[in-house]
Structure 1
Amino acid sequence: MTLFIGTKNRKISMFQPNFKYTNKIVRLLARIQAAREVILISPLIPAWERELQREALIKQTHHTTSIEGNQLTLEEVSLLIEGKDIPAGEKDKNEVKNYVDVLEYIDSLEESTSITEKIFLEIHRLTVKDILPAASAGNYRKVRVVVGNPKTGKITYVPPEPEEVPLLTRSLLEWLNSAEALDLMPAIQAGIAHYEIARIHPFLDGNGRTARALSTLILTKRGFDTKKFFALEEYYNEDRQAYYSALADADAKGGELTGWLEYFLFGIAVETSRVENTVKKLSSDRSMKEKFGQIGLSNRQIKAVGYLKEKGRITNKEYQELCDVSQPTANRDLQDMVDKNVLQQKGKKSQQIIYVLNF
């Protein structure tokens, strides 16, 4: 099928991804699947699950906005998500608040195979709300744009003409909803969609965040449920140059996506393996759940349990240093764990109270 656009009568062929399965892609898919299975069947206590999900939400929001130049730290993003005001520029704060809204919107969607243009444009509208003019939020660009290095002024990529954008995007979405796409693993679908939105560059701003959000939508709504524990954006942000280089390499190869998908899938494998290790550590000793039932612990307290399993004991000063909190906060956290029978006091040393696990 061929689509026609504009007065130039230029042709756009129906989107068809160009990649091949390599041994590396097959190995990465197998590794991702193995980690995913561990995460899904882990006997985590629900309060721990909520804490891991909250941590992933903060990381997703921080890293996806940081990639685009947002100056807020991970701690500042956490405070903002908690509803606290911070001394920062309005644009930076809006970007963070907006992406939380995007993730909540994605979470609100029903489990469905259909990804419509309406959903896609709403993701963009939420992404740039109060940042771009209302007429540009959730609407395709109507002008030419270029991608370049703002420091050197060098142009690195020229996206398609504005009159091509709507049909190119619709062609991608039509493919995403096709039987051919649905036969692929969600991680492959997500990687293909991510690249193609970055290539089309459909909007004046927010293209990268929208591409990453679309990947998240595909992963979470098409069977790749890891309980929302991992933040792929963290992998991108750790080495932004590698991220942009992988996209640029696919551009240089005329949209041949094998190398990009190897990069993309490696990132998912890294992040799912990280979560797998966390889950294994938290779930390795079932005696706690068997003895006490379900206990709600904070992320700091979970971290302390891991420390205690390794070291056998902890003092209130060690807890303070481990979790980077004040002495009163450390004392409150530890007393809470004593009250819940997770810890017991085992004496004092140099004015410091010693605690051990009670199971």
Structure 2
Amino acid sequence: MILINLYFFISAKITYNNFSCFVKVVKVDITPIARVYSPELEEKLLEIARLDARLDATVPVTIRESVEGLLRVVNSYYSNKIEGNLTKPSELIALVDDSIEHKSKGLLEIKRHIEVQVKLNFENNPREDVAKQDFIKAIHKAFYAECIPDELLVSSSDHAKFYEIEPGEYRATDVVVGQHRPPKPDLVPAYMSWFASAYKIEYLHGLSKYYAMAASHHRLAWIHPFLDGNGRVTRLFTDCFMRAIGLKSYGLWSMSRGFARSSEQYYRYLSIADRPRQGGEDGRGILSDAGLVSFTEYFVDVAIDQMTYFTSLLEPYKLEERINVYFQLRFNGGLFDSKGKPLKKLPLEAKDIYKTLLYNGPHTRKELQDKLQVSERKLRDIISEMAKDHLIFAPPKRPLQVRLSPHAVEVLFPYLFQ
């Protein structure tokens, strides 16, 4: 799929037989995907498909929702870290545990980011809408909707002027991002119309959808449609796009984690893809095809690295070993909460309850009692302590379900925030 030289109408005055109308033709001369044949790159794209199938099959259905909930936190942490948010993992775990009364600006920013991800669930947003202008505007609006007025002000580079962010609206002023000068504000609607057409899901087949996942990330960042928040919006869009093209495991791993762990490379390769075309053999659009190829290769390498890491992390046998370690530490009284207080000891039967719910799904209290051969009173006491520690959901008169406790994250999922 190659779409270039698309024309969009904005505004200009035309008069004919005393009838006037405003029409402006804007030529958008950009290649939407890297036009290159590379056996090495195509093999990596096929590896993404293989890893996707493997990871999707690895995670038990019983914990998928909990893992995806945890990964929304991870995604928010890393996406905001790229933008300079210095929130510490310990603060983040306390945020999830809801044990912080007065949340800092950084924590509130991450909290909003998590909430936006929930809103972007495809149960409410059809996959074919992912590249549409209204959808991308909705991402921006959702992120800024709850901000207080002071948080909606940004200053010019020389701090001489202040501009107000309008949630969900394109910028009305020129901006400069490092060495990059994005399109003039009056051209942004035309570029975003091109974007919606170029990355329409129905047009993407075979390996082109994998090329598009990288290219669309750069092109949206290059257009820079909003006054502020473009980085976060672009990464949230990419999260949605990855799911829309059929990566079933996405949500169990995070591109933002990979970008943040190689942030200098991330910005460098985005900048390389910003370069204008370098002569007649560097594509047909206004931007360098070689630059887009370089960014695509970087993007694909990050995806494979993160998929490999999370596949290993969630591999059932290794996960079970870490579960055993966690509950042995709890039995010995060797773990502490986010405030440094020792966690209450748990009997070893708690491990059996956790594993039963993890691998076999929800159970009633009576089913657990029969399976584990413990007294009703002892089971009730253990369930009460596990529920307090967010290890299980234990609603009255309903089956028990496993959940991922903030206290357990560092043991069950090592290096997640490193």
TM over 0.5, shorter chain: yes
Whichever residue aligns with residue 92 of structure 2, its letter is: V
Compare 103-112 and 266-275 and name the one that shifted more.
103-112
Q: Is 1:270 matched up with 2:290?
A: no
1:21 to 15, 23, 37: 37
**3-state SS of 2:270 partner:** helix
For residue 117 of structure 1, the aligned residue among 112, 128, 133 is: 133
> CA offset at residue 137 of structure 1?
0.8
Q: Over alpha carbons, which structure has the higher Rg?
A: 2
| Separation (CA, whole Å) in 2 of partners of 1:122 and 1:340 | 39
| Structure 1 residue 334: Cα displacement | 4.3
Q: Distance in 1 between matches of 2:232 and 2:71?
A: 16
Which residue of 137, 145, 157 maps to 2:175?
A: 145
Following TM superposition, by how much is the alpha carbon of 1:52 offset from its aligned partner in structure 2, in angstroms? Answer: 2.3
How many residues are paired up? 313
Match of 1:132 among 132, 146, 152: 152
2-structure distance, mates of 1:113, 1:179? 7
CA offset digits 1:323-352 (Å, max 9, x no partner): 999785372274511566889xxxxxxxxx
1:20-59 equivalences in 2 (<5 Å): 20-42=36-58, 44=60, 46-47=62-63, 49-59=64-74
> 2:117 is matched with which residue?
103
User: What amino acid maps onto 2:135 in structure 1?
Assistant: I
Worse-superposed segment, 254-263 or 73-82: 73-82
Distance 1:339 1:122 in 2: 42
Compared CA separation, residues 95 and 341, structure 1 to 2 (3 A) = closer
Distance 1:11 1:166 in 2: 10
Shift of 1:231: 1.2
Distance, in Å, in 2 between the alignment partners of 1:168 and 1:202 is 9
**If each structure's helix is expressed as a fraction of its own residues, which one has the higher value?**
1
More deviation in 129-138 or 189-198? 129-138
Contact 2:188-2:223 within 8 A present in 1 as well:
yes
Please give the secondary structure, in 2, of the residue aligned with 1:124.
Answer: helix
CA contact (8 A) 2:10 2:25 kept: yes
Partner secondary structure for residue 329 of structure 1: coil
Residue pair 1:190, 1:214 contacting (<8 A) in 2 also? no
> Does 2:110 correspond to 1:75?
no
Deviates more, 1:177-186 or 1:131-140: 177-186
Report if aligned partners of 2:10, 2:190 keep a CA contact under 8 Å in 1: yes
> How far off its partner does 1:222 sit?
2.7
Which of 148, 154, 166 in structure 1 is aligned with 2:189?
166
AA in 1 matched with 2:323: A
Q: Deviations over 1:308-329 (max 9, x none)?
A: 9xxxx95668883699997853
Matched position secondary structure for 2:314: helix
Deviation at 1:6, TM superposition (A): 4.8
1:242-261, aligned counterparts within 5 Å?
242-253=265-276, 254-256=287-289, 257-261=292-296
Q: What displacement does 1:236 show?
A: 0.7
- Determine helix, strand or coil for the equivalent of 1:139: coil
Within the candidate set 324, 327, 332, 2:346 is matched to 332
Larger deviation, residues 254-263 vs 128-137: 128-137
What SS does the aligned partner of 1:11 have? strand
Offset, 1:192: 1.4
Superposition deviation, residue 34 in structure 1: 1.6
2:86 aligned with 1:66:
no
The 8 Å contact of residues 44 and 279 in structure 1, kept in 2 or not, is answered as: no
Q: 1:277 to 1:325 in 2, by over 3 A?
A: farther
- Paired with 1:26 and 1:32, the residues of 2 have a C-alpha distance of 10
CA contact (8 A) 1:44 1:283 kept: no
Quickly say closer, same or farther: Cα 1:12–1:74, change in 2 above 3 A.
farther
Runs of 5+ consecutive residues of structure 1 not aligned to the other structure: 149-155, 285-298, 344-359
Secondary structure of residue in 2 paired with 1:226: coil
Change (3 A) 1:163 1:21: same
Following superposition, the deviation at residue 196 of structure 1 comes to: 0.6
**Aligned with residue 2 of structure 1, among 3, 7, 21:** 7
Consecutive unaligned residues of structure 2, counting only runs of 5 or more, are 1-5, 14-23, 154-163, 277-286, 357-371, 373-418
Question: What is the aligned-residue identity percentage?
Answer: 19
